[in-house]
Chain A
């Protein structure tokens, strides 16, 4: 005849196991502690819970239901605590066999191509100017003297036409009797595109022209005989120099990402009157940005606009300079080297 066990003692033992067991599971910090706690409280052979469970048979029949329910509750509580502790430690207690994966070796790489920094700069400029309503335009790089000079108010005897300052094509008649250079040439500015757009469209015109231009400069760290320009043009019935200053200031704030001051200095370009150089105050110094001005009445007349009806402003800037400054590039020749050690940085 087996001895019966006192219900109160049984329940008290369960309470103690639950309290101690939950505390133990809650305090484990690594897999070995967790395993030790598991063995101690939930071990299948001699865990503390097992020991109490074995005593259930000795409980008085009338108390068995109460004892069984409590036994179940404690078992569930301990199991939940074990699960929670296991989750907290992550998957550390996996069943992995063999050497551990070295999680610190690099991921598998895959190659993505790089976009040229000049393209990135041009896209940035188009995006900023686009938000101010300027649509992009392009045109041919080989031009006739009308679009490169005459329509831009650059007279036959202007030094800007000098063969030393332009890439004339060899097929063209170079020097006329009185020093007129009449042949085709690689454009020296993207203003040629502005002329082509104005010739084909009535005002208002609000465009930026972009592309390669060519001027005979010996290549060094800051000069290259081929570079990119962005020129803006706005012609409408009431365009003033104040609009020009406003647009350039908005542009500068956008491009440089902060509120910058700008200033105009008088300058001279045949196709604008007045003509100015534009400076930005940036990094505690005045930085040259480019040239600008009000479209010369002679240019408006050349494309068939009436200077009494419309006015306009124009500005031009070198893309390379902005690109190099933004990315800290120090030698312009790198841009055109095709060297992937350079290209892969962008």
Chain B
């Protein structure tokens, strides 16, 4: 009994001394607070949702998207049209991976790779004097200027890279 009482006491002491979960120091400084963890989750869901949205718009009209890729003048049409069928579904699956935390690391790595390719291709096309519609969000993005496309892409890339860094920290061992 004594030992039990002692354990209880220790437990009570430990509990009363425990900082609230949102302070981020419950089990050492490496443990993230619930709030921060929640914020990162929200960021992953937002980026995932953006990718799902962009993917659905393009999967709805792959021929139009093939025309958008064609406008970059990087690849031959036969490749562009096949990419136009594949890329939207890749975006959708990556987006769902981020939202539901399935195949998360792979999805995040592919999202980052896709964004780098999109940004690189857009800048390269602009430098070559090609007036492009990036096609990033299907017809919805037609009214967006090149600068706004870049701002949007860089913002999403920054968010994805932050998620990547967060995911690689030791406290993410909880998976």
* Bound pair (A, B): no
Binding site for B on A (CB under 8 A): none
Residues of B within 8 A of A (CB): none
